[in-house]
Structure 1
């Protein structure tokens, strides 16, 4: 069976078992309502994600563009970028996945390097001496953090499906590790001041769960495991850094149980980027 087929089976199995577990949660459990919201979001997101990838390059391109447009909108709102920078980010969210689909060989270091002058162009044209550098830097950051990684949905093929399910369950593993192993001892130490609730126990849970999922779908390798596990851990911290400077708790409020799209795909973005680096 293909990696994609195994990924679908694992996803259906996990959603089925977890759905029964969530339904059986006693009413007195404090996080019951939140867990149910998250399960419903996963139950809707998984078919959309896997279904788009099943359609091939065109479906993956549409998925990457849609995710990019929503994520960029949330990012612009958080960072206060102007309309010109927002236009650059929106255009890149569509153009880069299309380039990855139509001419994947053209998406190389030279193309990525062109993102710097493109990102700086609005500030240069405005002649902005006070905040131009900040705006350009935030625009470049968004391109490298959101637009470029999402092209991997097009270029990675079946591996993108495996990475997606591994990241989703990596987040679950982090929660389980933090809940059951992170109450005391060395593993209870916070991972970073950026996210005090993230502990080394959560890192252990992430490492175990991502490795197990990649093995179950037939995609395990040491480098891919490292890329996905690091993406889960560092991606979450990276978004926390952005949100703390912006002074917001969540990137949005429309996604039940998570907040915004960036709150759901922060780990996936970095995992896709690192996977691209280790598989080329």
Structure 2
């Protein structure tokens, strides 16, 4: 049985159960409206994600490019980059998934090195002596984080589908773990000052949910599970760091219940990169 054929009933079942659960929440619950908004966003985004894989590598490449363009817009705004920096990131957000689909062998060390030089090109060409180094560094980081991370959606094939579902489940598991176990005791300790509401209880919940999702999809291995779990934790903290320096709460405001696209895929980007590192040779 393929990963996609396993994913559809698993995701549909969890969404159905989640829908019943949020519908039954008492009106006095403070987070009732927020949880309902999140469920609706899950219900709309899940078919898009699964549908891209149903269309094959080309569909995944187009989907990844679309995510990349939107995520780049949000990142550029938070990082305070210029229009020329945005152009570099947007072009690579479209080009790298396309290369992963049409010429995956081209995504080697040489291309990565060239892309990093490209990240510095706008600042170099304008002889920016005031903020050039900062711009180049932030553009290079954004390039590795967003376009390269999303190109792994294509490179990893069915594994990317399993990682995407596992990360989504991990997000829910982290919330459930933090809510159920994070009120007192050692697991209630804050994970990092970068994200005050994240606790070790959330990590435990995330670990259980990601392991269960990968097992249900027939994709569980210790290395892949570790990559997904670390990606879930580090990806969230990474975006929190960017947002704190930018002085914003969310990367955007158009995605109900989450904020912006980067608020939804921050963990996925890191999990994909780490999974590629432990599975691709």
Q: TM-score range by the shorter chain?
A: over 0.9
CA deviation vs aligned residue, 1:148-176 (integer Å, no higher than 9, x gap):
01001111111111111100010111001
Shift of 1:130: 1.2
TM-fit CA distance, 1:62: 0.4
The Cα shift of 1:218 comes to 0.6
Quote the residue 2:174 is aligned against: 174
The aligned residue for residue 183 of structure 2 is 183
Task: Give the corresponding residue for 2:14.
Answer: 14
Q: Name the structure 2 match of 1:23.
A: 23
Aligned twin of 2:46: 46
Where does the alignment leave 5 or more consecutive residues of structure 2 unmatched? none
Q: How big is the alpha-carbon RMSD for the aligned residues of Structure 1 and Structure 2?
A: 0.7
In structure 1, stretches of 5+ residues that fail to align are none
Secondary structure, counterpart of 1:137 in structure 2: helix
| Separation in structure 1 between the aligned mates of residue 30 and residue 247 of structure 2, nearest angstrom | 27
Does 1:68 pair with 2:49? no
Q: Distance in 1 between matches of 2:36 and 2:175?
A: 15
TM superposition shift of 1:226: 0.2
Distance 2:53 2:172 in 1: 23
SS of aligned partner of 2:146:
helix
Determine the structure 1 residue equivalent to 2:108.
Answer: 108
Count of matched residue positions in the alignment of Structure 1 and Structure 2:
280
2:256 alignment partner, SS class: coil
**Separation (CA, whole Å) in 1 of partners of 2:48 and 2:139:** 28
Does 1:246 find its partner at 2:257? no
Which position in structure 1 is the counterpart of 2:32? Answer: 32
Return 107-116 or 31-40, whichever deviates more: 107-116
2:206 pairs with 1:206: yes
User: TM-score under structure 1 normalisation?
Assistant: 0.99
Which structure 1 residue ranges, 4+ long, deviate > 2 Å from structure 2? none
